[in-house]
Structure 1
Amino acid sequence: MKKFLLQNKEIVTSLRNYALLVLFLMYYGYAMYCHFGDEPSVRLTVFTCLGVWLIFWRKIKLNEFVQNGIRGILAIVHAAYHSGQRPRIIRWFLYILNAGVLLTYLVIEVILAEPRKLISLGGFLAFLLLLFLMSNNKRQINWHCIFWGCCIQCYIGYFILKSSSGRYLVNWFAARLEEFMQYSDVGAEYVFGPKFLDHPFAFQTVPAIIVFCAVIQVLIYLGTIQFIVKSLGKVLAVVLDVSAPEAVNACANIFLGGIESALLVVEYIEGMPTSHLFALMTNWFASCGGSALIKFAQFGVPASHLLSASAMSAPAALVCAKLMFPDCDKELNEALKEEVEVDVSLDSTKSIVDDNPKLSLDTIKVNGNVPVPKFCNNNTNEHVLELKVDTTESLAHHDDDINGSVKQEETESQSEKSAPISTSTNAETKMKPTKKSIQTGDNMLEALVIGTKAGVKLTASIVANMIVFLSVIEMADKTVEWFANRVDLHLTFSIILSYAFYPLVFLMGISVSDCFKAAELLGLRTLANAGVSYLKLGQIVDNNDVLTRYELQYNTTWFYVEDDIFLKHENRTLTGGVMSERSVIILTFALCGFASVGLLGMLVGAMSSLIPSRTTELSKLTVRVLITGTLASYLTACVAGLMV
């Protein structure tokens, strides 16, 4: 019997898995029969559909016959679409249609209903103009990407902020996230005692981040995270006309931290042109995914707004990156799209290079399934761009590091280290996969342990940074105040930030009465990090709730003491004051991003660990990445201002 099982191990395993799937589907059917229509039934349906979709998609990917059929259908569609004037007609029809839809919304919902929202529209256009003026290659900007990226932002914003179904969906996910965070309280209470909530950041937020990192690591081991972000990335790559690694990385930043998102496409990073590396770095700085979202939600910021801002940051980051640092050789990209087989995966989306010698009309096959253009150079021999063809969803191992570790390869030449920034790569450079990737473990338990260790390291870094930055900001406040007092002036570091960032928050559509406080938080985000700003914003959100309850009980017997509010009947001071609900929403979107001076070193260090040969090149991009990531967050804030 044992010998028979070993000889037919694959068949037996498949039968076991199918039997378990059938049993679960039977359970699902009976559960729907017993309780249909309530919230738990919705939750069970969502996860059942996701699981079944993931299982069957893996089976399809391993089936050569099905894959060939899909490629054949895509090839037929691609050939039909590219015949005659059809592409231009369809493209311009969609341009006009979407422009008409957006203009209709502006007229009905903004100009006629709430003209004050036009300030947010002006801010949106002003930030785009600023990016255009700072662009390093204005003639090569892909306006198709810019147009569709802006449209996607607006559609996502309308769906999650205006439509009832979108608000329900986001609130549902936010409720699940808050429910998940409460599970960590059980372990925290056991370790720290029943009074652990007396110190919420140390004993509630930190454990929640550790648990979140561990669970995410298990989902990475199962391939769920990779499956979701790659599926979304493929769609985004086609719509925005960008490479699949860029789009997948942008989608990954919704769910993961920056380094983990980079590791999902790590085999393509070594040979990426500078413009694509710039997009990856901007994706990181324009979003607050992963454990950061848990941390900010624990500060009191509404999780629904954080989720919405994180989702909108993906297209916003790519729009800003392609405006500031566009791909170089558009003619080459068009030639590649005509030659390369239509397969919007990481292995066969448009070329990973932007500027190469003249493209030959000949093509070759790599690993027998992806046609790749052959490049010719009059001064050198013919060279071929090689792409790795990934046939599985699994990822290799790597050593531990602060955010999910990496292995470093020391095979880079000195000439590459000293090379100046360019928007192109040499045709002689071959795009070879590296051995760095996300560490997954051999089983679920090991993945859980790996995630826990990564979470401990991450929380140690978070705690240290919060202590340092809050201390330094307080020191800067007192220092400026001391110098101002010497000449009989009332001036602090916070006041300076308020005046410096006032025009920016005004352009987003924040109420004038809230602009100074919002500008201060925006300045703190830029100079320190988003955690400091969200900590103060969470306090303001709590103050709003307290003041609302106070007004219901005591009417309006309260008054301002500088920026704070004093509640007379309760003899209580609300430090930091309050903001309108609309201002809180817009500011939540504006702060959603890692773009800050304090994190530039971490960005360069993390990316350099993946591609040590290009450290000099990466360091020269940091200032542009900081500006671009910041403006990407501002764009999402302007969209929120148009919708709320």
Structure 2
Amino acid sequence: MDEKVMSGSTQQTINCSEETHPIKPHSQSSVNMLTLEEMTNSVDRNREKKNAYNIKMCYYFYRSRRHIKKTCLKHGRKVKAFVFILLICLYTAFFSYAMYLRQGDSSMTGFIAITVVLALVFMFKIIPYKRAVERFQHFLKTHPRTLQNSKRSLVVLCLLVTGVTLITEVIMVRPSNLISLTGIVGILTMFLLTSTHPHKVKWRPVLSGLVLQYLFALIVLKVPIVYRALQWFGAIITKILSFSGAGADFIYGSDFEHVGLVFRIIPLIVFVMCVLTVLEHLKILHVVLKVIGRFLATCLGVSPAEALNASSNIFLGPVDSLMIIRPFLDDVTPSELHCLMANGMSTVTGSIMGLYIMLGISADHLLAASVMSAPAALSLSKLAVPETRRNAKLEEDDFHFVSKYQSVMDAASSGATTAMTLGAAIIANSIAVVSVMKMVNYVLNWLGELVNVQGLTLQWICSFVFYPLAIAMGIDVQDGHRVAELIGLKAFINEIVAYTSLGHYRTNRIRFEEYVSLNYTDWSIDKASNDVSLPGWNATLEGGFLTDKSEVITTYALCGFANFISVGIMMGCYLVLIPHRKAVVFKYILRSMMVGHCASFITACIAGLLYK
């Protein structure tokens, strides 16, 4: 009985224990389930709060943006004026502080020049000059006699300046420079005799182009401040071009300049073309082209298409220049089409000019030559193929441009891509022409040995064929054969090969002047090979060097795209753009190449005339 009572109480105790204290596993599961549910609810609440906060922030953001946009649209001019004035104040403060720190420092020259240019741009932006120009043009149209008298006075003034400076700067100072006049007269006579319509030649563009060339050369070569400014600008261009080495150093390594010409050509052309396309997209280049184009059209009396093409060829290539005047191509006359082709042959582009500078050619003379050859090509083309009919479809103010790029990045990328194509073409053509020249020289040398003539090469033949032309341009007699050889290289191969040889002569001259400056007098010249021996340095200058005068004149004479490779490129471009006018293209393409050559030669003659 006691056991039963005991067992009953024990069972009751166990039951009570189970009710009061549940089994541990069951208790832990319940707690975990409650905790998970609470956590889920807490996460949901936090997510809802976060979503509500994000929605609220987006609302305030879009509301603020809409308010700012509305304010800018309402007060756009005031906002722009405020930002513009703020930038001017910051630039003025920076300029003043820099002038205070660098007073008298030569490094401030470039900064001052940039400031002056920006100030002029600012003045043209705020001054309502367009209305004044329109009123002035209206006045000239309503008073034609005043316009005619002004033109006559300007012509008389230019002729007077030309005549006086010829007497005071050439005849009285260096009469030997007058030999360059024989080159100018000879070239003009040749084109007049071979002109398609000699009796229809309009002498205004011919003579105006020559006078404009002479005046520009007079300002550049005889005005010290302008010459120093051009030298400074050339140094800036050289410095800018040196930045292309950073990209080449990253791709090829630090010793890329010693590997070969290809590793120097590609980075340079890519960099320059990229900069030019960006300037074109920002319409900075367009402003420059419009100014030069209108100036040439006014002075020479040529059509807008011809003037715009001549100005754009100074900075862009023949292909890019054609793209700018593409709307005109269907309406140009045969004389104008010939002039467009001659423009492309007579000047060099900015990217290729950088290549010449890298080869050791003087940057300031290259810049002057490229600008001076533009009016020369216009004048000679109007003498070779005179205009026989008036083109009424081209108005005087047809100087418009079409934007080709969407953004600065698009312009830079397109420029780099175009530069790669251009660089590949230059490399391929250079390999081809140098190889062909080597083969031709081998054949000529073999033929010469058959008749006991040693050293018969293409360069040797050119040195005699173009010798009279070199002397007529003003080249010193002792340098005549070597300069004639360079002219032949440019005519039959390309100007890159010719400028490479000219750069070699220039390097030799600089080394020789350095040798003489150290008071060495034991140098000697081999008359057969023109090699200069420098015993003090145990060195030999192969091929010798040109005098400074011959070097300057040759720099102008070689500046142009006139060669048979360019003929092929130009024909391809024109046949794609205007295939229905291929007969006119084929008729005048070789004549335009001759105009391109002689435009450079006349530029060289003027440089030789004013050389001091």
TM-score tier by shorter-chain length is 0.7 to 0.9
Look up the match of 1:208: 268
Correspondences of 1:595-634 after superposition (within 5 Å): 595-634=562-601
Q: Quick one: which amino acid aligns to residue 79 of structure 1?
A: T
Instruction: Name the structure 2 match of 1:469.
Output: 433
User: Is the Cα contact below 8 Å between 2:562 and 2:596 reproduced in 1?
Assistant: yes
**In structure 1, how many angstroms separate the alpha carbons of the residues matched to 2:130 and 2:79?**
25
Mark the CA change 1:245 to 1:492 in structure 2 (over 3 Å): closer, same or farther.
same
**Is contact 2:529–2:543 with CA below 8 Å preserved after alignment?**
no
2:469 corresponds to: 504
In the TM superposition, what are the counterparts of 1:227-242 in structure 2 within 5 Å? 227-242=287-302
Counterpart of 1:346 (choices 381, 398, 401) is: 398
Inter-CA distance 545–12: structure 2 relative to 1 (3 Å threshold): farther
Q: Which moved more, 1:66-75 or 1:599-608?
A: 66-75
- TM-score w.r.t. length of structure 2: 0.83
Aligned partners of 1:301 and 1:541 also within 8 Å = yes
User: Is the contact made by 2:309 and 2:322 (CA closer than 8 Å) also made in structure 1?
Assistant: yes
For residues 534-592 of structure 1, the C-alpha deviation after alignment (integer angstroms, 9 at most, x for no partner) is 01101111111111122233224233261333333333332332000000000000000
1:12–1:167 CA distance, 2 compared to 1 (3 A): same
Residue 145 of structure 1 and its aligned partner are, at CA, apart by: 1.6
Is residue 226–residue 264 contact of structure 1 (8 Å, CA) maintained in 2?
no
- Structure-2 separation of matches of 1:584 and 1:264: 35
Contact 1:559/1:567 (<8 A) preserved? no
The one-character-per-residue Cα deviations of 1:18-40 (angstroms, maximum 9, x if unpaired) are 44432332233223322346555
Equivalent of residue 43 in structure 1, options 67, 86, 110: 110
Cα 1:13–1:529 shift into 2, 3 Å? farther
Deviation string, structure 1 residues 174-232 (Cα, Å, up to 9, x no partner): 01111111111112122222212213622333211111111111111111111111112
Contact 2:523 2:532 in 1 (8 A): no
Change (3 A) 1:615 1:58: farther
447, 457, 472: which is aligned to 2:421? 457
- Could you say what secondary structure the match of 2:532 adopts? strand
Give yes or no for the alignment of 1:479 onto 2:539: no
Contact 1:5 1:12 in 2 (8 A): no
**Paired residues of 1:255 and 1:289 also in contact (CA < 8 A):** yes
Q: Give the unaligned 5+ runs of structure 1.
A: 348-389, 397-438
Q: 1:90 to 1:74 in 2, by over 3 A?
A: closer
Structure 1: how far apart are the matches of 2:564 and 2:511?
34
Q: Please identify the structure whose Cα radius of gyration is greater.
A: 2
Q: Which residue of 2 aligns with 1:495?
A: 460
Could you tell me how far apart the structure 1 residues matched to 2:200 and 2:351 are?
Answer: 36
Question: For residue 541 of structure 1, what is the aligned residue in structure 2?
Answer: 506
Query: Could you tell me which residue of structure 1 aligns to residue 10 of structure 2?
Result: none
* Aligned AA (1:325): V
Partner of 1:96: 156
Distance 1:612 1:40 in 2: 53
Give the structure 2 partner of residue 381 of structure 1: none
Match of 1:567 in 2: 534
Distance (whole Å) between structure 2 residues aligned to residue 446 and residue 28 of structure 1: 29
The CA deviation at 1:619 is 1.8
The 1:608/1:50 distance shift into structure 2, 3 A limit, reads: farther
Q: CA deviation at 1:613?
A: 2.1
Deviations 1:91-137 (A, max 9, x none): 44433332222222222222222111111012112111212112112
Aligned position for 1:583 = 550
SS at match of 1:35: helix
Deviation, 1:624, is 0.8
Question: Is contact 1:469-1:532 (8 Å) kept?
Answer: no
Cα separation, 1, equivalents of 2:425 and 2:77: 44
- Show the 5 A alignment for 1:244-259: 244-259=304-319
- The 8 Å contact of residues 127 and 631 in structure 1, kept in 2 or not, is answered as yes
Give 1:519's match in structure 2, choosing from 465, 478, 484: 484
Shift of 1:58: 7.6
**Compared with structure 1, are the counterparts of its residues 16 and 292 closer, same or farther at alpha carbon in structure 2 (3 Å cutoff)?**
farther
2:261 is paired with a residue whose SS is helix
Structure 2 unaligned blocks of 5 or more: 1-63
| Alignment-mate amino acid for residue 507 of structure 1 | A
1:514/1:236 Cα in 2 relative to 1: closer, same or farther (>3 Å)? Answer: same
Q: CA RMSD in A?
A: 2.5
Shift of 1:9: 6.3
- Point out the more displaced range, 566-575 or 603-612: 566-575
Structure 1 residue 528 displacement after superposition = 1.0
Question: Any conservation in 2 of the 1:188–1:196 contact (CA below 8 Å)?
Answer: yes
Give the one of 127, 140, 144 matched to 2:187. Answer: 127
> Residue 537 of structure 2: SS of its match in structure 1?
coil
> How far apart in 1 are the matches of 2:121 and 2:200?
38
Deviation at 1:264, TM superposition (A): 1.8
Alpha-carbon deviation of 1:608? 2.3
2:517 corresponds, among 543, 549, 552, to 552
Asked whether the 8 Å contact 2:522–2:536 carries over to 1, the reply is: no
Amino acid of the residue matched to residue 86 of structure 2? Answer: L
What's 2:16 paired with? none
Cα deviation code 1:324-378 (max 9, x no counterpart): 112213xx57xx79xx9xx85225xxxxxxxxxxxxxxxxxxxxxxxxxxxxxxx
Greater fraction of residues in helix: 2
Contact 1:32 1:41 (C-alpha < 8 Å) held by counterparts: no
The alpha-carbon distance between structure 1 residues 195 and 12, as it changes in their structure 2 partners (threshold 3 A), is farther
Higher mean Cα deviation, 244-253 or 47-56?
47-56
* Partner in structure 1 of residue 37 of structure 2: none
Amino acid at match of 2:460: I
The structure-2 alpha-carbon separation of the partners of 1:22 and 1:559, relative to structure 1 and needing over 3 Å to count, comes to same
Instruction: Please tell me whether the aligned partners of residues 249 and 265 of structure 1 are also in contact (alpha carbons under 8 angstroms).
Output: yes
Distance (whole Å) between structure 2 residues aligned to residue 578 and residue 520 of structure 1: 14
Residue 158, structure 1, aligned to residue 125, structure 2:
no
Which residue type is aligned with residue 110 of structure 2?
Answer: R
Structure-1 residue corresponding to 2:42: none
Equivalences for residues 87-486 of structure 1 within 5 A: 88-199=148-259, 201-329=261-389, 332=390, 344-346=396-398, 390=400, 395-396=402-403, 439-440=404-405, 442-486=406-450
What CA distance in whole angstroms lies between the structure 1 residues aligned with 2:132 and 2:223?
38
Q: Is the 8 A contact 1:279 1:317 kept in 2?
A: yes
State the distance in 2 between where 1:289 and 1:574 align: 32
* Equivalent pair of 2:493/2:564 in contact (CA under 8 Å): yes
Partner of 1:415: none
Aligned in 2, Cα 1:595/1:14: closer, same or farther, shift over 3 Å?
Answer: farther
Given that 1:604 and 1:622 are in contact with CA atoms closer than 8 Å, whether structure 2 keeps it comes out as yes
| SS of equivalent to 1:569 | helix
In 2, Cα distance between equivalents of 1:312 and 1:171: 16
Mark the CA change 1:180 to 1:8 in structure 2 (over 3 Å): closer, same or farther: same
CA displacement at 1:237 relative to structure 2: 0.8
SS in 2 for 1:449: helix
Taking structure 1 as reference, are residues 25 and 616 closer, same or farther at Cα in structure 2, changes over 3 Å only? same
Closer/same/farther in 2, CA of residues 574 and 206 from structure 1, 3 Å limit: farther
> Cα–Cα, structure 1 residues 506 and 204, in superposed 2: closer, same or farther, change >3 Å?
same
Q: How many residues align?
A: 541
Identity of aligned residues (%): 29
Asked if the contact 2:309–2:325 (Cα under 8 Å) also holds between the matched residues in 1, the reply is: yes
CA distance 1:68–1:25, change in 2 (3 Å): closer
Shift of 1:506: 0.9
Counterparts in 2 of 1:312 and 1:12: CA distance versus 1, 3 Å = farther
